[in-house]
């Protein structure tokens, strides 16, 4: 159910907007960049290596992002998948694994970066002195959201469920024909994700991974 306090809901959306959109877009750019480095020019030729958000926006993914942000639940959304043509790869299975891995790794690195910026902000602009500043508290909230959202995107995409990136990573490690057979589940992937989501199992798996890693990282940063 959407938050009945619409102004608070918009505030939540504004806090999540930049870190979430940055994470979603850079995730796709990373796929395209690694594909380009492995020999596939498709994404580059279509202008999908740009940081301009317009070529990456998927209307449905943007709508889902807005609804989940406004509801105060787990923030979720997606950009247009970057097109990848494995026929350009010298080693299709390995190169597809590297392309898939690039997205979640980018989210984890972005989450780490948001945490470092948060730590430096608190070090040089102490909360006790700046807590009355609306801009300051908004910035802190956005930085914290950046850590949680990008760790969440990273762990979500690492789940070994086709068509998520983790499935392509797992398929490379499976012996022989087993990897190709496993990837045939991709046609049922969206249904599987919906079942996991509405059954609550997805949250039970992601929750400990996301918040456990966030707490551990905050501990390392001394936060």
Q: What digits encode the pLDDT tens for the residues 28-84?
A: 999 999 999 999 999 888 888 888 877 777 777 677 666 665 555 556 666 778 888
For the chain, the domains span 6-221
Tokens encoding 73: 């639940």
- Calpha distance 106→135 (Å, rounded): 27
Q: Which residue is listed with tokens 């908004």?
A: 138
Q: Report which of 88, 68, 123, 150 is spatially closest to residue 96, judged by C-alpha positions.
A: 88
- Calpha distance 87→203 (Å, rounded): 36
| pLDDT of amino acid 70 | 59
- Calpha distance 32→15 (Å, rounded): 28
Q: Report which of 173, 152, 25, 44 is spatially closest to residue 98, judged by C-alpha positions.
A: 173
| pLDDT of amino acid 101 | 95
Q: Report which of 35, 34, 29, 31 is spatially closest to residue 50, judged by C-alpha positions.
A: 29
| pLDDT of amino acid 132 | 86
| pLDDT of amino acid 55 | 79
Q: What pTM did the predictor assign?
A: 0.86
Under DSSP, the state recorded for 25 is H
- Calpha distance 31→100 (Å, rounded): 6
Q: Which residues of the chain have pLDDT under 70?
A: 1-6, 9, 61, 64-78, 178-180, 182-183, 185-186, 189
């Amino acid at each position: 159910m959407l938050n009945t306090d619409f102004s608070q809901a918009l505030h939540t959306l504004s806090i999540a907007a930049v870190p979430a959109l940055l994470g979603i877009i850079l995730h796709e750019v990373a796929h395209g960049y690694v594909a380009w480095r492995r020999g596939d020019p498709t994404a580059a030729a279509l202008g999908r290596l740009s940081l301009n958000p317009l070529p990456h926006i998927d209307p449905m993914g943007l709508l889902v992002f807005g609804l989940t942000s406004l509801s105060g639940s787990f923030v979720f959304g997606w950009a247009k998948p970057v097109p990848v043509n494995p026929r350009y790869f010298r080693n299709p299975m390995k190169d597809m694994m590297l392309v898939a891995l690039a997205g979640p790794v980018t989210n984890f690195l972005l989450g780490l970066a948001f945490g470092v910026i948060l730590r430096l902000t608190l070090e040089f602009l102490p909360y006790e002195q700046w807590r009355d500043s609306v801009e300051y508290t908004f910035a802190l909230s956005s930085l914290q959201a950046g850590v949680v959202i990008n760790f969440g995107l990273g762990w979500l995409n690492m789940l070994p469920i086709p068509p998520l990136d983790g499935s392509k990573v797992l398929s490379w490690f499976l012996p022989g024909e087993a990897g190709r057979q496993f990837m045939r589940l991709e046609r049922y992937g969206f249904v599987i994700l919906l079942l996991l989501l509405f059954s609550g199992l997805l949250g039970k798996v992601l929750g400990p991974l996301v918040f456990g890693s966030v707490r551990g990282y905050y501990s390392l940063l001394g936060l």
